[in-house]
Amino acid sequence: MRLHLFEWEDQAWFPASLRAAMTSYLVTDYGITPLPRLWADCLSRFLSRDGVIEIVDLGSGSGGPVENVVKELAGRGFKTRVTLTDLYPNEGLQFKTDAASSMRYWPEPVDAARVPAALPGIRTMFASFHHFRPQLARGILRDAFEQGCPICIFEGTSRTPAAIASALLIPLFVLLLTPLVRPVSSVQILFTYLLPILPLLIFWDGLVSQIRTYSVHELAEFTRELQSSRYRWETGLIEIPRLPAGVPYLIGWPA
């Protein structure tokens, strides 16, 4: 059963510096997993190599896996221009750009359930769809469907006993990987090693994220009323080599 428990990152009053430290850790965490490559594999099936692909990422945090996904896409010959957005934008993030990709962070808050018309493009959500309760989740899908916009939802968690149990390792990973976080802030170091509340906060949000993750069946159910010959949906599990649980995805695409 899915439980929509409390996550620190979702709270408007939560200190921006701690939220940024938590999402910066996530960026490093993705870097050691095969997820960016697997997500790029899945996305590639829908993309065209003609022209520049405009991507609007929702619930971006500190960028999550986007930079790595874009690099993977560039390696496959796709050119992209990405706009990162968040309800609580992480201001001041800098990204490397090259001939194949450019990235910017939208400075205004963007609610994933109400994407402004000023941001056209393929909508992506990496590890953020579980932040929305069913009614809002349906609203996000309906908005993309009615506007004829592609939407690609990828989760990095799954609501299986093995994945939920694996969350117990999060504090250890936070202690081991924090030296790799770039750029690293004094808040990151202070609250990881001197007063170790970040390992606990990240553990809690990681555990709750697994418990909140929609199953493939639930994702497909959300799309049941959003059917048209002009738009198609695909749901599935992305298998992760050597791990028992795959991670769910949902893609909506104009036919």
Ligand X SMILES: C[S@@+](CC[C@H](N)C(=O)[O-])C[C@H]1O[C@@H](n2cnc3c(N)ncnc32)[C@H](O)[C@@H]1O
Please, which residue, 87 or 226, has the CB nearer to ligand X?
87
How many positions of this chain bind ligand X (CB under 6 A)?
A: 19
CB of 195 to ligand X, least distance (A): 22
Please, which residue, 112 or 219, has the CB nearer to ligand X?
112
Q: Which of 28, 129, 131, 191 binds ligand X (CB under 6 A)?
A: 131
| Core vs surface per residue 83-105: b (16+ CB within 10 A) or e | bbbbbbbbeebeeeeeeebbbeb
Residue 193: what residue type? Y
In which residue are the tokens 């990162």 written?
84
DSSP per-residue string spanning 97-112: -BTTEEEEE-SS---T
Please, which residue, 88 or 173, has the CB nearer to ligand X?
88
CB of 209 to ligand X, least distance (A): 7
111 makes contact with ligand X (CB under 6 A): yes
Pairing of strands 52-58, 79-84: parallel
Residue 226: what residue type? L
Site string for ligand X, 79-98 (x = CB under 6 A): -------xxx----------
Please, which residue, 98 or 108, has the CB nearer to ligand X?
108
Of the ranges 47-55, 58-66, 97-105, 226-234, which one interacts with ligand X (CB under 6 A)?
Answer: 58-66
Q: Which of 28, 68, 128, 213 binds ligand X (CB under 6 A)?
A: 128
Closest CA to 206 of 136, 111, 89, 127: 127
Q: Which of 39, 78, 105, 126 binds ligand X (CB under 6 A)?
A: 126
CB of 64 to ligand X, least distance (A): 2
Half-sphere exposure of 1 (CA within 13 A, CB side): 2
Subset of 60-79 contacting ligand X (CB under 6 A): 60-61, 64-65
CB of 253 to ligand X, least distance (A): 20
Subset of 185-214 contacting ligand X (CB under 6 A): none
Of the ranges 59-67, 100-108, 141-149, 190-198, which one interacts with ligand X (CB under 6 A)?
Answer: 59-67
Of the ranges 38-46, 91-99, 122-130, 234-242, which one interacts with ligand X (CB under 6 A)?
Answer: 122-130
Residues that bind ligand X (CB under 6 A): 9-10, 23, 26, 58-61, 64-65, 86-88, 111-112, 126-128, 131
